[in-house]
């Protein structure tokens, strides 16, 4: 099992550009989520999904979109990148929202 | 929404001593409380978790206690070793959303 995979590992964007961070899991988990991690702020939930076709907003959803067309994939889209979105992004999955979350390796994003 | 506070933000202990990290939460609907360890440049990894129907859970040198009435839970690491040095995060979940504390940087001095 590959577990949770994320691509790319690193990305530099210019302000206003858009991009998609990819996340996939091969554990047949229903629950998937996206977090951003900033120094001193811990992990903050951006969006989450409790199954294919179902998504909802987390704590800091502005500027990000998600979709969940399959159980395996949960891409995160940045619509118009801003310097405030410079962060490390982690995708995670779990059987349900009250079970262990498995995190991907992270994507380090810099917006200039 | 939920608010999770974590203390202390940094903690230094001598090898072999115990370390305690405390978290409080505000939403009584939270029912799952995991603890994650994150080494520098790595992903968070679960080290122990507890559900709201349990008061204490232990796994070798690591234990977690939960006081639902006071809305706080704590991580206890005994006989600390240098490899325990990392950032530790508590979290609270209501079954849909996870809320994380801001982390404790633990340094174990050999």
Using the predicted structure, report yes or no on whether residue A98 has a pLDDT greater than 80.
no
CA atoms within 13 A on the CB side of B71: 14
CA–CA min distance A82, chain B (Å): 23
Average pLDDT, integer, range A57-70: 96
Q: What is residue B11's predicted lDDT score, i.e. its pLDDT?
A: 98
For A62, counting Cβ atoms within 10 Å of its Cβ (0-12 exposed, 13-18 middle, 19+ buried), the class is: exposed
pLDDT digits (tens, 9 = 90+) for B50-78: 998 889 999 999 999 999 999 999 999 99
CB neighbour list of residue B95: distance below 8 Å, 6 or more residues apart: A96, A97, A98, B31, B32
Q: For residue B43, which residues of chain A lie inside 8 Å, CB to CB? A: 90, 103-106
pLDDT digits (tens, 9 = 90+) for B14-61: 999 999 999 999 999 999 999 999 999 999 999 999 998 889 999 999
Which is it for the CA torsion B58, B59, B63, B65, positive or negative? negative
Looking at the complex, does the CB of residue A26 fall below 8 Å from at least one CB of chain B?
A: no
For the record, the structure tokens of A84 come out as 């405030």
Identify the DSSP state of B3.
-
Q: What is residue A76's predicted lDDT score, i.e. its pLDDT?
A: 98
Whether A101 and B103 lie within 8 Å, measured CB to CB: no
Q: Which residue in A has a C-alpha nearest to residue B87's C-alpha? A: A42
User: Among B6, B45, B96, whose Cβ lies nearest the Cβ of A97?
Assistant: B96
Helices (H), chain A: none
């Amino acid at each position: 099992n590959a577990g949770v995979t994320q691509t790319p590992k690193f990305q530099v964007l210019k302000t206003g550009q858009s991009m998609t961070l990819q996340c996939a899991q091969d554990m047949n988990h229903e629950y998937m989520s996206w977090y951003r991690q900033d120094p001193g702020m811990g992990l903050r939930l951006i969006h989450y999904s409790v199954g294919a076709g179902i998504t909802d907003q987390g704590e800091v959803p502005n500027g990000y979109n998600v979709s969940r067309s399959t159980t395996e994939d949960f891409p995160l889209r940045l619509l118009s990148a801003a310097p405030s979105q410079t962060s490390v992004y982690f995708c995670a999955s779990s059987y349900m929202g009250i079970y262990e979350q498995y995190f991907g390796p992270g994507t380090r994003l810099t917006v200039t | 929404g939920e608010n999770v506070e974590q203390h202390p933000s940094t903690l230094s202990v001598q090898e072999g001593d115990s370390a305690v990290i405390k978290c409080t939460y505000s939403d009584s609907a939270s029912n799952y409380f995991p603890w994650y360890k994150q080494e520098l440049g790595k992903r968070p990894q679960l080290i122990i978790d507890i559900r709201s129907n349990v008061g204490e859970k232990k796994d070798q040198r690591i234990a977690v206690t939960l006081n639902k009435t006071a809305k706080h839970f704590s991580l206890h690491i005994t006989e600390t070793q240098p490899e325990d040095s990392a950032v530790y995060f508590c979290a609270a979940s209501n079954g849909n959303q996870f809320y994380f504390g801001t982390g404790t940087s633990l340094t174990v001095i050999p």
